[in-house]
Structure 1
Amino acid sequence: MNKLTSTLLAALITGASTLAFAHGDEAHAKKAGPVKKEQKEWGIAGEAKAVTRTITFNMSDNMRFTPDKIDVKQGETIKFVIKNSGKVMHEMVIGNKKDLDEHAALMMKFPGMEHEEPYMAHVAPGKTGGIIWTFNKPGSFDFACLIAGHYQAGMVGKITVAAR
């Protein structure tokens, strides 16, 4: 069980009334302060001064990302500019299939759950969001919209990180 899953389950089991609900049509506000730098299988939060390339994505209500496949080189810090051209909230979450599957299942059970990590961006209709991510490990990774029903409808993509 990953850290996010175990934390959420602990909060739910103890009946925590402080669990915030912010999905649906509500906008997520980026928290002030430093970005949480935690090494993940798919990389680590990047810094603006280290950006080596910018990739623009479009998310739409046909439950697709454009583009839905990207190639990067190990060590690249990518600035993702994520546009929501739809009429409903969408998000982009980078991860591996196992973690995205687990998170998507939780989102189906608790569609209003709030989460904020440096590898995800929640983008309101007609707005633009962003992620800055350093791909310091090679491999094949995924990204998806985990809002309830969107992942299941095929709102997913692939990131291939080539070894140096």
Structure 2
Amino acid sequence: MKRHTLGAALAMALLSGASTAVLAHGPGGGHHGASKQEQTDWGIAAERKQAQRSIDIRMDDKMRFTPDRLQFKLGETVRLRIRNEGKLMHEFVIGTKKELDAHAEMMIKHPGMEHDEPYMAHVAPGQTGEIVWTFNRAGEFDFACLIAGHYQAGMVGKILVEATHGKK
């Protein structure tokens, strides 16, 4: 099956009333490089060698991320290492609240939905995933685990990207 962007695939699923998988959860734990360089409202994928720093994030079966708040400077490229310390599958997905709300709703309706985007890491128990991302848009963004029920249980966090020199 041809891979589509998350937005296009969600639109296809909504328009077709599909109950089968239209997106692909990638095996492993996220992207180790930028296989897709597509600008989003919250930034763009980057290569590992471009990362200016690394951030360790833990997730667990209490449906929480630690830390659950991240702060970056506009233009900063970071390597997010996401460790699943639970016994359940979890994921880390960056987006706007609107995008995450829509995706979480789709995941409840189609729990077998698959997806694979550079701003997502699907991480098996005891494993570590990785996202390398350039935050080139200022603002407040979100991250979440969108596996059915996890988002609704509060498995969410906030990202603040500060504009430099007082600009937003």
Q: Displacement of 1:64 after TM fit?
A: 0.1
Whether the 8 Å contact between 1:21 and 1:112 is mirrored in structure 2 is no
1:22 Cα deviation from its structure 2 partner: 7.2
The correspondence of residues 63-102 of structure 1 with structure 2, limited to 5 A, is 63-102=63-102
Match of 2:14 among 9, 12, 15: 9
Q: What TM-score results when the alignment is normalised by the length of structure 2?
A: 0.85
Amino acid corresponding to residue 100 of structure 2 in structure 1: L
Deviations 1:26-85 (A, max 9, x none): x72468996111110000001112101100000000000000001100011110000000
In the alignment, is the contact (CA less than 8 A) between 1:54 and 1:80 conserved in 2? yes
Identity %: 57
- For the residues of structure 1 that align with 2:65 and 2:31, how far apart are their CA atoms? 25
CA distance in 2, matches of 1:33, 1:56: 17
In structure 2, the CA distance between the partners of 1:56 and 1:34, relative to structure 1 (3 Å rule), is closer
User: How far apart in 2 are the matches of 1:34 and 1:42?
Assistant: 15
For 2:99 and 2:146, the matched residues in 1 are separated by 11
Alignment RMSD (CA, Å):
2.5
Give the TM-score normalised by structure 1. Answer: 0.87
| 1:17-36 map, 5 Å | 19=21, 28-29=27-28, 35-36=35-36
Q: Distance in 2 between matches of 1:62 and 1:56?
A: 18
CA distance in 1, matches of 2:19, 2:146: 23
Matched, 1:42 2:51: no
CA distance in 2, matches of 1:132, 1:32: 7
The residue that corresponds to 1:162 in the other structure is 162
Kindly tell me the number of residue pairs found equivalent between the two proteins: 158
* Change beyond 3 A, Cα 1:118–1:49: same
Unmatched segments (≥5 aa) in structure 1? none
Give the partner amino acid of 1:6: A
Q: Which of structure 1's runs of 4+ aligned residues deviate more than 4 A? A: 20-23, 29-34
Unaligned runs of 5+ in 2: 1-6
User: In structure 2, how many angstroms separate the alpha carbons of the residues matched to 1:90 and 1:145?
Assistant: 6
Given the superposition, is the C-alpha separation of residues 31 and 128 from structure 1 closer, same or farther in structure 2, using an over 3 Å criterion? closer
Residues 41 and 22 (structure 1 numbering): CA distance in 2 closer, same or farther, change over 3 Å? closer
SS of aligned partner of 1:49: helix
- Which amino acid in structure 2 is aligned with residue 57 of structure 1? I
